[in-house]
Amino acid sequence: MLNGLYSAAAGMIAQQTRIDALSNDISNVNTTGYKQVRTGFKDLVYNIEAGMRIGAGSAVVDAGRMFSQGGLQQNGDPLSVALDGPGFFQVKRGDGSLALTRSGDFHADAKGQLVNGDGDRVWPPVTLPAGTNVDDVGISATGVVTVKQAVVGQIQVVSVPSPSNLLPVGGSLFLPTAQSGAIRPMATQGI
């Protein structure tokens, strides 16, 4: 009798975790660069009781995040870019760590450096000359940044061997882990 209750409780906990992940996905539907959480289920241990196999319920399996291409939207900002295909932009956080993001909503800070909405600098840094009008800035499909046809920097696209093992840290940022592998530049890119 108690085994049935334990199995049902394990299943309810797994379903609650799935609902929590779905509600998080829904609450971030308008977050640029947000990536959906994937969940799965696995059977727990089976026991033999009275000659019958009795399962102990199910448990949720964290299957990582979906890094598939999202919808591209024009916003008219010459400093906002999007990735067409796989890869990440690299930003340097305030604590000095490098993070990855698919969000390309960049702007220039007071020093002319390209930053994201939280002030994290695009890495390697791209600095616009003082007094640059954003309408004079161009960003090519390969990430070359120009001001009035003069090259001022390059937005680099990077990848990791296993993106689903990146650690989400909020604000559409992810940190590499031992399981995701090290950050490496991509040979080809499409911005």
pLDDT at 33: 63
Amino acid at 68: S
Sign, Cα dihedral of 109, 115, 120, 122: negative
Q: Is the peptide bond before 86 cis (omega within 30 degrees of 0)?
A: no
Per-residue pLDDT of the chain (191 residues; tens, 9 = 90+): 566 677 777 777 777 878 887 887 787 777 666 677 777 777 776 667 777 776 667 777 766 676 666 677 777 788 889 888 888 999 999 999 999 998 888 999 999 999 998 899 999 999 999 989 888 999 998 889 999 989 999 999 999 999 888 888 888 899 999 999 999 998 756 67
The pLDDT of residue 8 is: 75
CA dihedral for 159, 122, 173, 107, sign (positive or negative): negative
- 129's torsion region: left (phi>0), alpha (psi -120 to 50) or beta? beta
